[in-house]
Amino acid sequence: MTDQHESDQHQTEHKTGHPTVELAGAALRALAHPMRNRMLGLLRMYGPATATTLAGRLGVNTGATSYHLRQLADAGLVVEDDSRGNARDRWWKAAHLGTSFDTGALLKSEPELTMGFLHGLGQVFAENMFRAIDEQQTQSPEWLDASLITDYTFQLRPAELKSMLTEVQAVFEKYSTDLTQPLPDGAEQVSVQIQAFPRETR
């Protein structure tokens, strides 16, 4: 999910090798709502969709998704896909394939909005993991063997953690691909989630 770190607490949530948007102002206000966070993620992952399609995926009514799409559009996060649909059937696509944000700066300037965004992001990550676990029942042995759900615990200083994650991101860049191109034969889109944070110690 990379960009170079712009500060000690710069984080990214995006698809490797593609343009990202810096989270601030209107974009932060828009994504502080969990539903908009989910909708933007669906557009980035699966491509253009209508309000009706998104409503079906999320289990809500079309009026709700239409409203949230307008809010995302006002924030510059989605745009209409002029190559599809008509006046009665509007298609929307993500304006960027990723989001960059400086957690420390956002918590100082907009703490409540930032916490709303971060909690929503964590919820999306958790939902992705549970969905992947459910799908393991029908996956091929090759994909089951290649997949991993685990965690590690280290005793590190902040600079050491940053150094480790920089090395990990370099590996991701090595395997980055153009997600706008058709899937190669035998390939699937693969999501790699990383959460690195200090644990409570007693």
Helices (H), 15-140: 25-31, 34-46, 51-58, 62-74, 103-109, 111-135
CB-based contacts of 75: which residues, under 8 Å, 6+ apart? 26, 27, 29, 30, 31
Domain chopping of the chain, boundaries: 10-174
Q: How many CB atoms lie within 10 A of CB 76?
A: 14
Please state the pTM of the whole predicted model: 0.80
Distance between CA atoms of residues 6 and 8, nearest Å: 7
pLDDT, residue 2, reads: 31
Write out the two tokens for 80: 């209409």
Q: Are 91 and 69 in contact (CB under 8 A)?
A: no
Q: Which architecture, in CATH terms, is 10-174?
A: Orthogonal Bundle (1.10)
Give pLDDT tens digits for 50-81: 999 999 999 999 999 999 999 999 999 999 99
Q: What is the DSSP letter of 110?
A: -
Give pLDDT tens digits for 148-176: 999 999 999 999 999 999 999 999 999 98
Residue 121's nearest CA partner among 25, 62, 40 is: 40
